[in-house]
A and B are shown apart, each in its own frame.
Chain A
Amino acid sequence: MTALLSVEAVSKRFRGLLAVDNVSFRVARGSIFAVIGPNGAGKTTLFNIIAGVFAPDRGSIAFAGERIDGLAPDEICRRGVGRTFQLVRPFPALTVVDNVIIGAMLRRNDPSAARRHAHEVLARLDLFGKRHQLASALTLPDRKRLEVARALATDPKLLLLDEVMAGLRPAETDRLVSVLIELNRESGLTILLIEHVMRAVMALAARVLVLHHGAPIAEGTPDAVVREPAVVQSYLGAEAVD
């Protein structure tokens, strides 16, 4: 398997804080990869660097064989990277379907084609019945799903999910997990997720990277990573592994 995304020795400093400290990893094409770690470990900063919100101070990022570090967020999206935001940012005064049509318009000039695609994506994420509601009227779990739908509508090769499971009930988590697995299997969508909900990480990810104070402390399969003493001590707590 070739790497779709490769992050090489990336660092980012904010004033005195080294938010991301020499992080390297590769995400294989068609795989699901998770980044975990305690709050403040630099996960979202790492995401924002990949998505083009920040340029890294050092290191490089390649997507599909081309350097993307330092490109603008919209350019990175056009190359095939979709993302969600940890603090959700739907277009509040627009309807659910219009939110997703805007994503679909990236690769479809015709509004009716974009609408059809948006309908398909909404159906997949169980939001079709709510498509005429305003995004601002949705519950938080629905808004999280809407973020996933909007990103998916851009037909990404790589989907970056920033804590989309947070605040979801276990049944909702399982449902979203199965939707993501479906997408991954059917269309070969590569997924990179930041997640606190270990139930989702264990069910989804083939590989896991653990960050602590911005630095990688472990990488491997989920089963192996959760047994590493450094991970247990810094993040999971002893009771999480049984």
Chain B
Amino acid sequence: MTDRLLDGVPRRGLALLAVVLAVLLAAPWVANDYLLTILIIVLYSAYTGQAWNVMMGFAGQLSLGHAIYVGLGAYAAAALYVHFGIGPWLGLAAAVAIAVACGAVIGFLAFRFGVGGVYFAILTIAFAEFARIGFDHFQWVGASSGFFLPVANYTRNDLWTLRGNPTMFYYVMLALTVAAFALCHVLLNSRIGYYWRAIREDEIAARSVGINTFRYKMYAVVLSAGMTAVAGVFFAFYYNNLFPEQVFHISRSIELILGPIIGGIGTLFGPLIGALLLTSLSETMQQLLAALGLDAPGAKQVFYGLCLLVVVMVLPGGVWPWLAGKLGLARRGS
């Protein structure tokens, strides 16, 4: 396993990775609460971007409705906690199972009946919208008036029930992000990763070398859905309130995919770089606007749009491939 983890990684890359990890581990000691909140958002975006990247970046299946998996995960774990007192880690299992089942249904319908490309993306939007409207009327979890978890007092951290201060949530999110990164790295260097890329590049050619494309596309959807649902559980216990209009909204799905697109679709570092760039730049910009006394609602969205425009025009492959080249980290073969 460790062999695979380190397979084909340049020394310099490992050194850089170690430095980044050390900085992230030490961050809570130096960062104030505001900065820590921003870092949690960065890690959350990096993690969900990584999960989406499994489906789109690796296997080439465009999902524009990933909010559905965040939402299902969030509501499942929250409902189990509020109604039955079941803790988030057990709730996580249920959340992942529900999201995986939902992903399997969407994947099966699409891949069995040959719905591909743009039509597949539309199907994913449709399901996310069904969920949004459905949860708007789902009284058991508060319907459109929202669903609330009892807010914790921050006197002590309880990892078992995920009640605690931002530092605890920060480390939980950091652990998830590192785990997702390591998992994706191992998968990319295994048969499944090679097969996903083959399918992304040319499905007909992939079948001609013996790849059961239906099965491998299903793996991608199911894994991506399950990983995303984990973020949903975090979301529920971190924010303590869920509104269908926010959680399942298409803008959530779009925000989720901007990071990996800007960082570099199909790369391991793309979602991380993209999340860091987008979140830090947009926060800086908002601080600047506030300092200048300008009130500009929607500035964040405009800014995201501009970032996307710049990347598409200047670095269509994303920031990471360009940065990797600059740092001399371009993946060497053997």
Contact = CB atoms under 8 A, between A and B. Distances in A.
A217 to B, nearest CB: 29
Interface stretch (A9-17, A54-62, A96-104, A234-242): A96-104
Nearest to B213: A74
Interface string B197-210: 11001101111111
Interface string B210-222: 1111000000000
B210 A78 contact: yes
A202 to B, nearest CB: 28
B194 A105 contact: yes
Contacts of A140: none
A53 B211 CA distance: 14
Interface of A: 51, 53, 72-74, 77-78, 82-83, 85, 89-95, 97-98, 101-103, 105-106, 109, 111, 114-115, 131-132, 150-151, 153-154
16 contacts: A74-B210, A74-B213, A89-B204, A89-B205, A91-B202, A92-B201, A95-B333, A97-B333, A102-B197, A102-B198, A105-B191, A111-B190, A114-B194, A150-B205, A151-B208, A153-B209
Interface of B: 4, 7, 189-191, 194-195, 197-198, 201-202, 204-213, 333-334
A135 B208 CA distance: 17
Contacts of A78: 210
A51 B210 CA distance: 11
A77 B208 CA distance: 6
User: Which of B195, B197, B208, B213 counts the most chain A CB atoms within 10 A?
Assistant: B208
Contact of A85 (B194, B205, B212): B205
Contacts of A94: 197-198, 201
A234 B250 CA distance: 61
Given A102-B194, A151-B209, 13 more contacts: A72-B212, A73-B204, A74-B208, A77-B207, A89-B208, A98-B197, A102-B209, A105-B191, A106-B211, A111-B4, A111-B189, A114-B191, A154-B209
A98 B202 CA distance: 14
Given A97-B333, A105-B195, A154 B205 contact: no
Contact of A150 (B195, B204, B209, B333): B209
A154 B7 contact: no
Contacts of B206: 74, 91, 102
B333 A83 contact: no
Contacts of B205: 85, 89-91, 150
A51 B204 CA distance: 11
A103 B211 CA distance: 9
A115 B190 CA distance: 11
A106 B333 contact: no
A7 B129 CA distance: 51
B325 to A, nearest CB: 14
B201 A74 contact: no
B7 A111 contact: yes
Nearest to A93: B201
B195 A51 contact: no
User: Which of A53, A91, A93 counts the most chain B CB atoms within 10 A?
Assistant: A91
A95 B205 CA distance: 15
Contacts of A154: 209-210
A-B CB proximity, top 4 nearest: A91-B201, A77-B210, A89-B205, A106-B210
Given A102-B195, A102-B198, A131-B333, A74 B7 contact: no
Contacts of A53: 204
Contacts of A85: 204-205, 208
Nearest to A107: B210
A106 B198 CA distance: 12
A73 B333 contact: no
Contact of A111 (B194, B201, B210): B194
A62 B191 CA distance: 30
A82 B333 CA distance: 26
A75 to B, nearest CB: 8
A111 to B, nearest CB: 6
Contacts of A90: 202, 205
B265 to A, nearest CB: 11
Contact of A73 (B190, B195, B201, B208): B208
Nearest to B210: A77
A94 B60 CA distance: 13
Nearest to B8: A111
A90 B198 CA distance: 9
B197 A91 contact: yes
B208 A115 contact: no
B210 A91 contact: no
Contact of A132 (B4, B210, B213, B333): B333
Contacts of A114: 191, 194
Contacts of B198: 91, 94, 102
